[in-house]
Structure 1
Amino acid sequence: MKVTRAQAEQNRERILDSAAQLFRERGVDGVGLNELMQAAGLTRGGFYGHFESKEDLVAQAARRALAGNVAQRRRMADKGLASWVRTYLSDAHCLRVGDGCGLTALAADAARGGEAMQAVFGEGVENFVTALQALMPGTTDAERRTQALARVATLVGALLLARAVADEGQSRELREAAIDAVLAGTG
């Protein structure tokens, strides 16, 4: 049975959604094509009709994951920096690897990835910095950007480390220290 153009696009979207979640949960190398296609409700045979390679899928799935983060940041910005930071470093976000921050979940994969993945990741970092820059105190854009860069590094690093340790107390301690550091001097 021939698949319609509309159905093919729906299948592609399901693959991207599944990949964005699975790659965040288990890393790029932790997910095989068979498993990925099965999670999307499809067979492996259809993969190459949608993507040139796994690397192509990885870059597009990372873009999908990071785009979802942009929408979440916009919603949180209205609540103010303190609320936003506490939500980002909350217990719930720490536990929600599969649908949480793509920067934190995919950082190691991007560092080892190809140029396309690193370009997508760079865009994600820039989007995060831009979102925080708007919330930073300061008299110049350059000053606010520097503050935002430091806070992005602190937030992503703290969440990455908090997820990597087995001790819940240590995880919470890392996140609480980061909250204090990020909010220091922001009024």
Structure 2
Amino acid sequence: MKITKAQAQANRERVVETASRLFRERGYDGVGVADLMAAAGFTHGGFYKQFRSKADLMAESAACGIAQTVALSEDVDAPEFVRYYLSREHRDARATGCTMAALGGDAARQPQAVRATFAAGIESLLAALSPEGNALDGVDPSQARARSLDILAHAVGAIVMSRACPDDSPLADEILAVCRDEILTSMSPSASAGESTRDHGSGASARPE
């Protein structure tokens, strides 16, 4: 029986969401097309009616997963988002956690379209870490962006390192706690104000003639 366009779209979204979860859990090389389609409730033969290639699905599923992480930040401020991101709960939820932390290493070896999706995802996560008013008066936008990049790289790296440790490892928890505290301290108003003062104080002497 022929399915409607709406049902076909719903089926496609189901495959994308299933792929997003399985790729995060097992890695890109750990999931074959047949297993992926079976997990979504479809036959292997239907894959190429929906996607041009596995890489095409990788890109779409990465966008889906990153959007889920960004959505978590929408109703909380940046420090609260960091507290959740660098928590045991998030670290242990591989299948539903941050796509950037789960698949960033794999993405580096994938086709251009996949890496372009991750680059767009980085921009989305930077925006999540830059709420309104994040750039204090007198702080150059490029400095505010640099601060957000530092926080994001710090947080993603902490999750990767913590997950690399054995289960229940004290080191795994130590990595999360230390990085979380360091990031939250760097995000405090006093830290931002101090950085702004240092930048302004050195600006005149650093400027070329």
TM-score bracket for the superposition, by shorter chain length: over 0.9
Q: Distance between the aligned counterparts of 1:28 and 1:76, measured in 2?
A: 31
How many Å separate the matches in 1 of 2:80 and 2:89?
14
- Structure whose alpha-carbon radius of gyration is higher: 2
Give the distance between the partners of 2:50 and 2:187, measured in 1 at CA.
46
Deviation, structure 1 residue 184: 2.1
Aligned to 1:134: 131
- The residue that corresponds to 2:21 in the other structure is 21
Equivalent residue, structure 1, for 2:154: 154
TM-score, normalized by length of structure 2?
Answer: 0.83
**1:40-74 CA distances to partner (integer Å, 9 max, x unpaired)?**
10000100010001111111111111111121121
Amino acid at match of 2:23: F
Superposed displacement of residue 9, structure 1: 1.1
The count of corresponding residues between Structure 1 and Structure 2 is 184
Find the counterpart in structure 1 of residue 72 from structure 2.
72
The AA in structure 1 aligned to 2:172 is S
**Matched-pair contact (CA < 8 Å) for 1:137–1:186:** no
Residue pair 1:94, 1:163 contacting (<8 A) in 2 also? yes
Given residue 86 of structure 1, which amino acid in structure 2 is its aligned partner? R
Structure 1 distance, partners of 2:89, 2:27, is 20
Note the alpha carbon deviations across 1:121-161, whole angstroms, 9 max, x for none: 00111111122133745422222111111000000000011
- Runs of at least 5 residues in structure 1 that lack an aligned partner in the other structure: none
Q: How does 1:1-187 map to 2 (within 5 A)?
A: 1-77=1-77, 81-134=78-131, 136=134, 138=136, 139-166=139-166, 167-187=168-188
> How far has the Cα of 1:4 moved from its partner?
2.2
CA RMSD of aligned residues (A): 1.4
Question: Using a 3 Å threshold, how does the CA distance of structure 1 residues 82 and 53 change in structure 2: closer, same or farther?
Answer: same
Q: Give the ranges of 4+ consecutive aligned residues of structure 1 lying more than 3 Å apart after TM superposition.
A: 135-138
1:169, distance to aligned residue in structure 2 (A): 0.9
Give the % identical residues: 40
